[in-house]
Amino acid sequence: MKTVGIVGLGLIGGSLGLDLRSHNFNVLGISHRQETCEKAKQIGAVDEYIVLSENSEVDEVKTKLLQGVEIVFICTPIDKITPTLKRLIPYLLPKTIVTDVGSVKTPIVQACSQLWDYFIGGHPMAGTARQGIEAAQNDLFVGAAYVLTPTETTPLVARERVEEIARSLGSIIYTCMPEEHDRAVAWISHLPVMVSAALIDACMSETDPKVFNLARQLASSGFRDTSRVGGGNPELGLMMAQYNQENLLRSLFSYRARLDRLIDTIKRENWDNLESILELTQRSRSEFLSSSHCSIINS
Amino acid sequence: MKTVGIVGLGLIGGSLGLDLRSHNFNVLGISHRQETCEKAKQIGAVDEYIVLSENSEVDEVKTKLLQGVEIVFICTPIDKITPTLKRLIPYLLPKTIVTDVGSVKTPIVQACSQLWDYFIGGHPMAGTARQGIEAAQNDLFVGAAYVLTPTETTPLVARERVEEIARSLGSIIYTCMPEEHDRAVAWISHLPVMVSAALIDACMSETDPKVFNLARQLASSGFRDTSRVGGGNPELGLMMAQYNQENLLRSLFSYRARLDRLIDTIKRENWDNLESILELTQRSRSEFLSSSHCSIINS
């Protein structure tokens, strides 16, 4: 039985553990918190675990466990991925495959590829509104996109092995360069967060208490959907901006130009033009979504 | 058996007819298209109908039918509400109550109240992605907000009667001034449409075909939800802008200021500030939605 190591036992790490155990992998969970490890064991997300914090001692037993691992999935928050790899390196056998699940790839792949030959960046695009090991669930990755971002120097075996496992989770695999991934997710994932956050922020600015209360009372599916991702986990939004700053700004500038054009069209009462824009966005959205992996699954 | 007249047999008019007939009203449908009337009759949305276009003859039979109506619901597109009332006036008995379902209230209420004493503006905030009589369905208004906008001169009987009927549909009634309605919906309904349309527009601007295709393939629930209302019926978006121009622009200017602040924060790498903003939008959204009529229903 092959052993997979999962570092970081949150929603993604925990869900991965549940699925991989049901696919007959032996799962070694690694977290810096004893309590998280125990919880993961209790819900069946790991077979065994190591508590590994920055300063915790790595004795012979732990070293042996780590050396028995074929693949490591680093499922920590983005800012902890590279430090985690550094911490693990002394205990891994040289051909151990390491991958991560971070939602930004360029800086992670650059740093980790230099540290470890058998590293390949990955991004399973699955999630729920809930977080942490308590939110872990089976089949979280079914029908979700799983992006792999090998570079020219990534060993083929690393790419093939992670792809095989991702496919076994029911994910749809996409392979591209880290830079392409980051530009694409800036449009469809990171930009929507900021656009949506600004909407919430703006709605809070109404100063007439009667209108403000009425707006809250009348808010329904339109506001609910458009504001959803802007009301999500602030830590995730922050990491997107920090790690994908350049691409996000590029998307935001383009967005602001389009918004300004809309505002100007409304201000000038150029109704034919407004109608054309809205007809185009209606058509564009259905075309856009007809190519998405969601449509592939649903069709 | 009381007779309700419904002018405009689309999604709202048709659905209203289905519900009112099941509440033992006699429903007289009025549309400018023969085909629509027949379809409405066929699906059980009306008991009888009149084809009434701008130039069609109103004979004695039609006049008699119209005079038998207790309440008229004008369910046409916004730009046809006032002309429709003008067209009906010669055939209505003086105390017939007239209401409308338009999504903007101030200009409608101003015009129609001058034309007809027993007019009261209304806005049932229900809908589906589909349109037309084919999309009509029972119970469309259950749990939806139904806003009534009486003025100082609206006869109490008009207000009470429309409120009673709206309540019987399962709607939650809100009463406010037309101007308050229009400012409130500018925030939670009309602004989201423009914010969301600009997002679609921006995403279409990616010039690298590989990144563009990847963005389309990876687009999932975040993009789908944030772009939904911007990809909706262009005619509705246009009417919002035309009839609620001032309030929409006010909301858009506030939105742009908030967006600019976000962009500036990201540009300056003021991460603490960005985190505070995103924490606030997360908290604000749940507070905002906790007051909505949807929460009242769900709790």
**Contact (CB<8Å) B271/A216:** no
Predicted confidence at residue B296, as pLDDT, reads: 52
Predicted confidence at residue A294, as pLDDT, reads: 67
Chain mean pLDDT for chain A: 95
Closest partner residue to B125 among A220, A237, A238, by Cβ? A220
Q: What is the mean pLDDT of residues A183-208?
A: 97
Question: Where does the pLDDT of residue A298 fall: very low under 50, low under 70, confident under 90, or very high at 90 and above?
Answer: very low
Q: What is the mean pLDDT of residues A218-242?
A: 95
Predicted confidence at residue B294, as pLDDT, reads: 67
Indicate the domain borders of chain B.
3-176, 181-268
**Contact (CB<8Å) A256/B263:** yes
- Nearest CA-CA distance, residue A91 and chain B, Å: 34
Percent of all residues in chain A with a pLDDT value above 70, rounded to a whole number = 98
- Nearest CA-CA distance, residue A129 and chain B, Å: 11
Chain B residues 128-147 with a CB less than 8 Å from chain A: 144-145, 147
Question: Where does the pLDDT of residue B295 fall: very low under 50, low under 70, confident under 90, or very high at 90 and above?
Answer: low
Q: Is the predicted pLDDT of residue B298 greater than 60, yes or no? A: no
- Which amino acid type is present at position A227? S
Q: What is the mean pLDDT of residues A76-100?
A: 96
Q: What is the mean pLDDT of residues B143-152?
A: 96
Beta bridge mates, A172 = A145
Rounded to the nearest 10 degrees, how much is the dihedral formed by the CA atoms of B289, B293, B298, B299? 80
Q: Which of helix, strand or coil describes residue B172?
A: strand
Predicted confidence at residue A128, as pLDDT, reads: 77
CATH topology of domain B181-268: 6-phosphogluconate dehydrogenase C-terminal fold (1.10.3660)
Residues in chain B closer than 8 A to A209 (CB atoms): none
B270-284 pLDDT, tens digit per residue, is 999 999 999 999 999
Question: Where does the pLDDT of residue B54 fall: very low under 50, low under 70, confident under 90, or very high at 90 and above?
Answer: confident
Q: Is the predicted pLDDT of residue A248 greater than 60, yes or no? A: yes
**CATH C-level class of A3-176:** alpha beta
Chain B residues 80-109 with a CB less than 8 Å from chain A: none
Interface predicted TM-score (ipTM): 0.93
